Structure 1
Amino acid sequence: MKCKHFYVTWDPAFPRGCRAYGFKTVELPSAVVLRSSGQHCQSYETKLV
């Protein structure tokens, strides 16, 4: 949620998304990337608020 690529969608079935990888998911996108690749997200950039 601290990544600038993270966003909240309007789709109730897939409420979270990642703009860097272009997908929506029920879980946190970082967890999906870690489970899929075995590595932490390489596109992570801290959100400047």
Structure 2
Amino acid sequence: MKKTNPVDCFQCQYFYITWEPNNPRGCKAFGFKTAKIPSQVVLETSGEGCLKFENKQQPSPPKAPKRDGWTA
């Protein structure tokens, strides 16, 4: 039975895009570049899903400026 890969590298903070045409994707957590999705390489190599996955930090919404007194 073939294992599926539930990890979405595009949502991981360690995923990055390289400038290398032969290896356009990379994983900072494991320190490698690949032509495949990094979590797929981890699954094929270890037989386990990626254990280093962490969601990207979402920027907090900008705070509204404080309005004290009169403004024109």
Q: Where does the alignment leave 5 or more consecutive residues of structure 2 unmatched?
A: 1-9, 59-72
Q: Give the TM-score normalised by structure 1.
A: 0.93
Largest Rg, 1 or 2: 2
C-alpha separation between the residues in 1 aligned to 2:30 and 2:45?
Answer: 12
* Structure with greater strand share of residues: 1
Give the equivalent residue in structure 1 for 2:28.
19
C-alpha separation between the residues in 1 aligned to 2:40 and 2:56?
Answer: 18
Q: Give the TM-score normalised by structure 2.
A: 0.65
- RMSD across aligned C-alpha pairs, in angstroms? 0.7
Aligned residues between the structures: 49
Q: Where does the alignment leave 5 or more consecutive residues of structure 1 unmatched?
A: none
Task: Tell me: higher relative CO, structure 1 or 2? Use CA pairs within 8 A at least 6 residues apart.
Answer: 1
